[in-house]
Amino acid sequence: MNVLNILIAFFIAYILGSIPSAVWFGKLFHGIDVREHGSGNAGTANTIRVLGLKTGIPVLIVDLGKGWLAAMLPHFFSLAPSESAMLINFQIITGLAAIIGHIFPVFAGFRGGKGVATVFGVLLAIHPGVTLVCLAVFLVILILTGIVSVSSMSAGIAFPILLLTIFDTPSLAFKIFSVIVAIALLITHHNNIKRLLKGEEKKLFQKKPKVQESE
């Protein structure tokens, strides 16, 4: 086991996660920082609310892609045999580095987003089957409610349930990780939960005053 390769993979994963797509795209194409508008979150949902789909979709693709790429680094560095529990464990480590980078990005003053899209990218790299079913759960709930936070939490809760009952993995760490992801999503959405209980949580698409862009 090459410790240097592990450290390099972890560092690269964190740097990938630190790419603040919502912040950079907002400033580049609209002259604003999305963290100063809407929910104050540097993520896909807030970008769509504040800046629209044309900016939100690229943000989603980048955030998902950096999570996927980070979790694939153990493959690229050949840290463990393919499809082994050890390889999955390394993928969890580099995936976590990317998620931490997204939440605390070095390139954006350590003020990032909640990491939902990045988490999805990580899980897609590690276990595509259960992840795609969770995506279906997310989309169904989003269509029914129009609320991203409810959809994200529902998919997060479904993840460990599906993994432990229908799907399988050779890695005990990944099973534990699935539970941690579900709990973490609930924690990071605590403000959304408060707004939901008050009936104040906003839907993804609704009419609202346009953000005035800087000259």
Report how many domains make up the chain.
Answer: 2
Say if CB 113 and CB 102 are below 8 A apart: yes
Same domain, 96 and 154: no
Residue 175 in tokens? 């099973």
Residues 70, 174, single domain; the answer is: no
Q: Is 215's pLDDT higher than 70?
A: no
Q: Which has the higher per-residue pLDDT, 206 or 123?
A: 123
Mean pLDDT of the chain: 90
Picking from 112, 140, 159, the residue at the C-terminal end of a domain is 112
Q: Which two tokens stand for residue 75?
A: 């493959």
Mean pLDDT of 51-76: 95
Same domain, 193 and 147: yes
Q: Identify the pLDDT of residue 207.
A: 54
Please state at what angle helix 44-51 crosses helix 21-30, rounded to 10 degrees.
20
**Which of 81, 112, 143 delimits the end of a domain?**
112
Residues 2 and 83 in one domain: yes
Tell me the whole-structure pTM to 2 decimals.
0.85
pLDDT at position 118 is 94
Q: How far is CA 7 from CA 11, 90, 98, 102, in A?
A: 6, 11, 13, 18
Statement to judge: residues 77 and 51 lie in one domain: yes
Q: What is the pLDDT of residues 77-103, one digit of tens each?
A: 999 998 899 999 999 999 999 999 999
pLDDT, average across residues 164-188: 91
Give the whole-number percent of the chain exceeding pLDDT 90: 73
Residue 212 lies in a domain: no
Please identify which residue in the block is written with the tokens 């630190």: 18
117 within some domain: no
31-49 pLDDT, tens per residue? Answer: 999 999 988 889 888 998 8
Q: Do both 51 and 78 map to the same domain? A: yes
In a domain, 35, yes or no: yes
Residue 215 counted as domain residue: no
User: Which among 181, 198, 123, 153 is positioned nearest to 45, based on CA atoms?
Assistant: 153
Which structural domain, as residue segments, surrounds residue 95? 1-112
How many residues are recorded in the chain?
215
68 and 6 within one domain: yes
The sign one gets for the Cα dihedral 121, 126, 132, 138 is: negative
User: Residues 108-167: pLDDT tens digits?
Assistant: 999 998 888 999 999 999 999 999 999 999 999 999 999 988 998 999 999 999 999 999
What's the gap between Cα 12 and its chain centre?
17
**What b/e string do you get for 83-96 counting C-beta neighbours within 10 Å, with b at 16 or more?**
eeeebbbbbbbbbb
